[in-house]
Amino acid sequence: MRIALVGYGKMGKAIEKIAFQRGHEVVAIIHSSNAGELNDISVENTDVVIEFTRPDLAPLHLTTLLSKGVPVVCGTTAWHTQEADIYKLAKEKGGCLVHASNFSPGVNLFFVLNDYLAIMMAKWPEYKVEITETHHTAKLDAPSGTAITLANGILTQRPDLTKWVEGQPANENEILIHAIRKDPAPGTHSIAYQSAIDDITITHEAHNREGFATGAVMAAEWSMGKKGVFSMRDVLSL
């Protein structure tokens, strides 16, 4: 499979390593110093693009690629205000977009566990739910896309809760997200249900980037021949 990487930071390098290990070819690497070469990517020379950049750049990258029918796996987060337009474009062009806040298989299993726990805890309103996410100081967005996905998963199952808030005291009908930035720090997400009697907590801690990179390449492999907008749950059949 011919893969083009858009974004070549720590994650891009990890994806490149996994792609080679799984027998794929990296035909292009687009980064800040050769950004114009994004326009050279086409279905004639590339099977799929894996995009991990910044929220201010991702929508433009996706618009350019999807307009030409190039399948894209996108792991950039914090551009949710433009998601609807990008998803619509992908469908109109008959393309394929796999977009996820986190491509790690383990994290996606954690998403499912979070949903099940939220369903169970809906019967116990005396437990107040909070989310804590911890990352290194170079992470650009806060709260993380993964934390937002977890919060939205809880909101879907809990009609008594209305929204999530970050870094401020939450009302009874809100989910508080604590976003912590420190070095060094593995990517960690915890959901805590707290009452006067006891606490129930589930946690996912990433030991390195390998899980994220492997999941992104798995999504690229899965996307071949697909049309539409998909998530990592589709890739993993969760």
22, 84: one domain: yes
- Catalytic site residue from 139, 178, 226, 227: 139
88, 24: one domain: yes
6, 99: one domain: yes
Residue 172: count other Cβ atoms within 10 Å of its Cβ. Answer: 9
66, 142: one domain: no
Q: How far apart are CA 204 and CA 107, in angstroms?
A: 7
Q: How far apart are CA 98 and CA 120, in angstroms?
A: 30
Q: Is the peptide bond before 59 cis (omega within 30 degrees of 0)?
A: no
Range of the domain at 189: 105-205
CATH number where 168 lies: 3.30.360.10
Q: Are 77 and 57 in contact (CB under 8 A)?
A: no
44, 86: one domain: yes
Q: How far apart are CA 112 and CA 236, in angstroms?
A: 11
21, 136: one domain: no
220, 133: one domain: no
Measured between alpha carbons, how far is residue 158 from residues 36, 155, 165, 175 in Å?
46, 5, 16, 11
What is the SS3 string spanning 31-99? CHHHHHHHHHCCCCCCCEEEECCCCCCHHHHHHHHHHCCCCEEECCCCCHHHHHHHHHHHHHCCCEEEE
Strand order from edge to edge, sheet including 163-166? 163-166, 174-181, 128-135, 188-194, 199-205
93, 170: one domain: no
Residue 56: count other Cβ atoms within 10 Å of its Cβ. Answer: 11
The domain total for the chain is 2
Average confidence (pLDDT) per 10 residues, the chain, 238 residues? 96 97 98 96 98 96 97 94 96 96 96 97 95 92 93 95 92 95 93 98 95 97 97 96
Measured between alpha carbons, how far is residue 154 from residues 85, 165, 176 in Å?
25, 13, 12
pTM of the model: 0.89
199, 230: one domain: no
Confidence (pLDDT) at 140: 79
Confidence (pLDDT) at 169: 83
**Spatial CA neighbour of 201 closest among 190, 212, 213:** 190
Report the helix count and the strand count for the chain, using DSSP H and E. 7, 11
Q: Is 189 a catalytic residue?
A: no
CATH number where 92 lies: 3.40.50.720
141, 165: one domain: yes
31, 53: one domain: yes
Q: Is 139 a catalytic residue?
A: yes
63, 142: one domain: no
Confidence (pLDDT) at 186: 85
